[in-house]
């Protein structure tokens, strides 16, 4: 009954507000009206069509586009589990769906099930250890999650409560950082206004139990997607610019987030241009707006973003991220509706098309929402308009690139015991190493699939120095993880120190140790 009443209220509001937006934005055609209805009410567009995808959609040379799942209405954010399954949040359906990993390699998920339902507009998700964290519109909760079986146990436990979800931007995005803190992004209540709730239009962080809340950055109108650059740990977030300043203003943004910074909204937009509707910033003496790291075109609506592991991709993607541009709903001619790649170089950030073709002369067939890279190295893209998940694979053989790798097969045992081992608490280090192994989803290469790179009897072939050498300069396509020296040692102890191994660890190896 509660959901029915909410739905009726939203419908009544839309009857009043849609004509206003139509007049203000110059939207008159049925395709644009359908996009507007999708944005405001989650109403689906035309179903994904394989023929249209093959004929109209484009990816860069060397990549192959596949329709991974064609029947997942309102699919929004994506999260791969440590076992390689794909979780999909659906705010307008109030549930999270689990797509079983493609173990038989037929290009489709092997299974599908509703993992959790009855949620309040869930969007962001992340996993830490045995906990699945879920960001609903009014709270963040967690539930016990078994990645091996793809099942949850018990009930949702509130972690962060009392979040407001009134107004325009109700969605909440969460990620768990390398500092093992929970990061939360929540947008503004309005297009342009001074917020009454100081937590709105910010990025916050908490301890994993929800304690010690702090606001990291302010002035972020609607930062739906964020991720950390693997080469230096810098945090970047997409940003949806305000509406009703015309077709070409203001730009949407990519901001480099640093603690304590103010990113302009509602008093500034783009490269710190004063907003004509707000006047002077009353806190100008205490803060200066920080300009974007990169500007997207106006009304492109960048949502989910992810930095890429380029070990199975062309060299040009070594320092790159993908961002999903959901596309304009309030522009006289549509713009956006694609996935772009962002490339960090000496001259800044370069934006290139990656997945295009959703906009065919103003006829919209899809709206990308989120991007995730799977354990298989492929790129997965959600589309809430067509209700689909796309997979983009890079076929390295087409470019004469050998991506196969093996750990060294010759004996490279330590000539002498490393000095740091003399004072090491091996049991503690092994436990921390196990956590690192799970955090970076190492089982994706060493346990899963038809031909995993097993770690059988690794201690008979490699010593601690050799393992640390591999972690420092991994052979392609093994990813380079941002490990500190201490973390490298902890992971090496977990892999090589035999007394700590229990029956629970034997799944790492094809023979018992």
Q: DSSP string of 237-249?
A: EEEPPPSSS-TT-
Residue 474 in any domain: the answer is yes
Residue 240 in any domain: the answer is no
Say what the pLDDT of residue 334 is: 93
Q: What is the pLDDT of residues 137-180, one digit of tens each?
A: 999 999 999 999 999 999 999 999 999 999 999 999 999 999 99
For the chain, how big is the Rg over CA atoms in Å? 24
Q: Structure tokens of 47?
A: 């179903």
Residue 496 in any domain: the answer is yes
- List, in order, residues 6 or more apart from 15 with CB less than 8 Å away: none
How confident is residue 378, by pLDDT bands cut at 50, 70 and 90?
very high
Q: What is the mean pLDDT of residues 83-87?
A: 97
How confident is residue 329, by pLDDT bands cut at 50, 70 and 90?
confident
How many angstroms separate the CA atoms of 118 and 97, rounded?
A: 12
Tokens 């509130």, residue located: 158
Does 471 or 197 have the greater pLDDT score?
Answer: 197
Q: What is the pLDDT of residues 337-373, one digit of tens each?
A: 999 999 999 889 999 999 999 999 899 999 999 999 9
Residue 308 in any domain: the answer is no
For the chain, how many residues are written?
A: 513
Please state which of the ranges 25-29, 329-333, 380-384, 490-494 shows the lowest mean pLDDT.
Answer: 25-29
Residue 262 in any domain: the answer is no
For the chain, the maximum distance between any two Cα atoms, rounded to a whole number of angstroms, is: 77
How confident is residue 183, by pLDDT bands cut at 50, 70 and 90?
very high
Q: What is the pLDDT of residues 472-491, one digit of tens each?
A: 877 756 777 778 888 889 88
Q: What is the mean pLDDT of residues 362-385?
A: 96
Residues above pLDDT 90, as percent of the chain: 63
* CB 65 within 8 Å of CB 355: yes
Say what the pLDDT of residue 19 is: 46
Q: What is the mean pLDDT of residues 51-80?
A: 95
Q: What is the mean pLDDT of residues 225-238?
A: 97
Tokens 């106006």, residue located: 298
Asked if the model's pLDDT at residue 511 lies above 80, the reply is no
What CATH number does the domain containing 480 carry?
A: 1.10.760
Say what the pLDDT of residue 338 is: 98
How many distinct helices (H) and strands (E) make up the chain? 8, 28
Q: For all residues of the chain together, what is the average pLDDT?
A: 86
Does 200 or 8 have the greater pLDDT score?
Answer: 200
Whole domain around residue 497: which residue ranges?
Answer: 419-508
Residue 461 in any domain: the answer is yes
How confident is residue 284, by pLDDT bands cut at 50, 70 and 90?
very high
- Nearest one of 363, 386, 389, 400 to 304, comparing CA atoms: 389
Say what the pLDDT of residue 417 is: 66
Asked if the model's pLDDT at residue 15 lies above 50, the reply is no
Q: What is the pLDDT of residues 110-147, one digit of tens each?
A: 999 999 999 999 999 999 999 999 999 999 999 999 99
Q: What is the pLDDT of residues 304-323, one digit of tens each?
A: 999 999 888 999 999 999 99
Does 103 or 460 have the greater pLDDT score?
Answer: 103
| Domain total of the chain | 1
- For residue 250, whether the previous peptide bond is cis, meaning omega lies within 30 degrees of 0, is yes
* CB 375 within 8 Å of CB 445: yes
Q: Structure tokens of 106?
A: 């037929």
Residue 486 in any domain: the answer is yes
Does 419 or 329 have the greater pLDDT score?
Answer: 329
Q: What is the pLDDT of residues 401-423, one digit of tens each?
A: 434 444 444 456 666 667 788 77
Residue 482 in any domain: the answer is yes
Q: What is the mean pLDDT of residues 44-73?
A: 91
Buried b (16+ CB within 10 A) or exposed e, 83-96: bbbbbbbbbbbbbb
């Amino acid at each position: 009954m509660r959901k029915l009443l909410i739905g009726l209220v939203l419908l009544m509001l839309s009857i009043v507000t849609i004509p206003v937006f139509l007049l203000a934005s110059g939207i008159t055609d049925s395709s644009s009206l359908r996009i507007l209805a999708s944005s405001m009410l989650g109403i689906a567009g035309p179903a994904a069509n394989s023929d249209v995808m093959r004929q109209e959609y484009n990816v860069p040379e060397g990549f192959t586009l596949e329709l991974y799942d064609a029947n997942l209405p309102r699919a929004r954010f994506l999260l791969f589990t440590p076992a390689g399954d794909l979780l999909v949040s659906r705010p307008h359906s109030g549930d999270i769906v689990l797509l079983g990993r493609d173990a038989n390699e037929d290009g489709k998920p092997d299974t599908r099930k509703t993992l959790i339902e009855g949620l309040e507009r869930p969007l962001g998700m992340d996993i830490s250890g045995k906990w699945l964290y879920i960001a609903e519109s009014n709270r963040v909760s967690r539930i016990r999650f078994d990645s091996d079986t793809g099942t949850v146990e018990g009930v949702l436990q509130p972690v962060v409560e009392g979040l407001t979800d009134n107004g325009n931007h109700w969605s909440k995005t969460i990620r768990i950082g390398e500092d093992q803190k929970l990061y939360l992004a929540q947008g503004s209540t309005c297009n342009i206004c001074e917020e009454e709730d100081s937590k709105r239009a910010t990025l916050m962080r908490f301890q994993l139990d929800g304690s010690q809340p702090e606001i990291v950055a302010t002035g972020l109108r609607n930062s739906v997607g964020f991720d950390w650059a693997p080469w230096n740990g810098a945090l970047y977030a997409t940003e949806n610019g305000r509406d009703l300043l015309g077709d070409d203003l203001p730009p949407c943004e990519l901001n480099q987030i640093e603690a304590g910074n103010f990113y302009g909204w509602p008093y500034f937009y783009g490269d710190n241009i004063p907003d004509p509707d707000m006047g002077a910033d009353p806190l100008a003496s205490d803060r200066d707006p920080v300009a974007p790291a990169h500007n997207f075109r106006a009304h492109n609506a960048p949502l989910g973003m992810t930095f890429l592991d380029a070990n199975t991709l062309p060299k040009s993607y070594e320092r790159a991220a993908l961002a999903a541009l959901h596309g304009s709903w309030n522009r006289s001619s549509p713009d956006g509706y694609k996935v772009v790649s962002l490339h960090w170089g000496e001259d800044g950030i370069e934006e290139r098309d990656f997945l295009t073709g959703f906009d065919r002369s103003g006829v919209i067939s899809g709206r990308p929402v989120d991007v995730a890279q799977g354990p298989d190295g492929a790129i997965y893209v959600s589309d809430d308009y067509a209700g689909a998940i796309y997979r983009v694979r890079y076929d390295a053989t087409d470019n004469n690139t050998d991506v196969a790798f093996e750990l060294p097969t010759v004996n490279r045992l330590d000539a002498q015991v490393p000095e740091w081992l003399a004072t090491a608490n091996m049991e503690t280090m092994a436990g921390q190493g196990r956590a690192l192994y799970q955090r970076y989803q190492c089982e994706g290469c060493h346990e899963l699939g038809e031909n995993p790179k097993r770690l059988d009897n690794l201690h008979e072939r490699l010593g601690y120095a050799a393992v640390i050498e591999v972690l420092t300069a991994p052979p392609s396509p093994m990813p380079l993880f941002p490990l500190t020296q201490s973390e490298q040692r902890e992971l090496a102890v977990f892999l090589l120190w035999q007394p700590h191994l229990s029956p629970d660890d034997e799944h790492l190896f094809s023979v018992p140790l």
